[in-house]
Amino acid sequence: MLRLLAVAADKFAARTEPILSEYSSAEEIAKFVRNCMERIRAGNLDRDGKDELLRIFAPTCDWDDVVGDVELGNQVFSSLTSLYRADVLGNG
């Protein structure tokens, strides 16, 4: 999953045009994703971070609006859902 997140962060960072998002730029999203990667490696990604990553990569959300690589987005979202859905929903 970290490899997929790294590729996704690079794709966000490559976008320089204005975006329609809660984030001010695609680079800001890339920084958030990279920060989450570091927290995952350290074993301390909190519930809010998990929730936000899921939201970014959920269908029709930031990933689709800013990058649009459906295959990669689906792979990332599927991996995140498998790992974190129970945590985010409060069942884990």
What's the pLDDT score for residue 67? 96
Give residue 12's pLDDT. Answer: 97
CB–CB of 63/56 below 8 Å? yes
Cα–Cα distance, 3 to 1 (Å, whole number): 5
| Token output for 32 | 């958030």
Run means of pLDDT, 10 residues per run, the chain, 92 residues: 96 95 96 98 94 94 95 95 79 47
